[in-house]
Amino acid sequence: MGVKTLLLALLLALPAAAQWQRLVITQKDLWTDRPEPHALDYFTKYPLLRDESGDFCYLCSSEKRLEEARKAKARAEVRVVGKLNGNTAYDVFYYFEDEQKPAWKSIIIQTGPDSYREIYHDQPNEGEPVPSFIVSAGNDPLVCVLDNVYRLDAEDDCFWPEANGIVRLDFKPAWDAAQRVVPSGSKVWPYGIRAKSTFEQFVLKVRIISQGIHRCCDLRGLADVRFKLERGRVVVLQATFDPDGEY
């Protein structure tokens, strides 16, 4: 095997994303980054310091931000989600003032005696965060979310654990495969993986809508995409279109 061929093979064997990548959702934007590990009280002691929108104590010095965060009426609640290859995943729910429902949520993974990696941080614009859950994808455990249920959709993601980090599953290959089998004038609605049912048979149900429509309710059939996971990569096996399919 030549050097270039060997390098290509090694690259293809790598997970789908960088190690310990975090997905951040705020009212303003969505992005990924790679934060460092922290002790548990970093996530729980002063919740407002975990603001990712930039709104809390805007233009304050770090000392002033800490002072304001100490005065705020806020609390964090830590709940076990489940095991991921020997590491425990936790939800951290953040409550402010007298609200009985959480406003924000983080998912953290314990990687040492008092060392935690954040893989998901959610400050929604609509809806609210709810408990995360573990899904079995064959022999692989996934931690998944179905947060911020909007009028038309929700935040719907899954994360796969590898030896030195977490990979957020990228379903773009499935959306692209579905688009190739739908009729002219139609397009896929690339949201809603429905993890609890999708990973039972590794079949993703994809909604089809009319071109030019930006709503999910003008349905025009359904695409079934069969796939497998290869080290955190979604690999499409087959895509079919059913004009009478119901989501």
Asked whether residue 105 falls in the same domain as residue 90, the answer is yes
- Together in a domain, 56 and 149: yes
* Beta-strand relationship, 219-230 and 233-242: antiparallel
- The residue range of the domain holding 47 is 18-168
Tell me: pLDDT of 104 over 60: yes
pLDDT tens across 14-44, in order? Answer: 444 458 999 999 988 999 999 999 999 999 9
- Cβ(193)–Cβ(205) under 8 Å? no
Q: Classify residue 210: in a domain, yes or no.
A: yes
Local structure of 120: helix, strand or coil: strand
Into how many domains does the chain fold?
2
pLDDT digits (tens, 9 = 90+) for 50-95: 999 989 988 899 999 999 999 999 999 999 999 998 899 999 999 9
DSSP letter at 183 equals P
Strand runs (DSSP E) across 26-112, as ranges?
30-33, 74-84, 87-96, 104-112
What is the Cα–Cα distance from 233 to 15, expressed in whole angstroms?
7
Same domain, 155 and 227: no
121 & 208 share domain: no
pLDDT value for 209: 84
Out of 168, 195, 224, pick the residue that ends a domain: 168
Asked if residues 174 and 206 have their Cβ atoms less than 8 Å apart, the reply is yes
What's the angle, vertex CA 133, arms to CA 117 and CA 206, rounded to 5?
110
User: Which range is least confidently modeled, 127-141, 174-188, 211-225?
Assistant: 211-225
Q: Give the separation between CA 148 and CA 182, rounded to whole angstroms.
A: 29
Average pLDDT, the chain: 88
Name the residue with tokens 């139609």.
186
In terms of domains, do 159 and 219 share one? no
And the tokens for 133?
A: 């859950």
pLDDT at residue 216 greater than cutoff 60: no
The stretch 221-226 carries a mean pLDDT of: 94
pLDDT (mean) for 8-18: 43
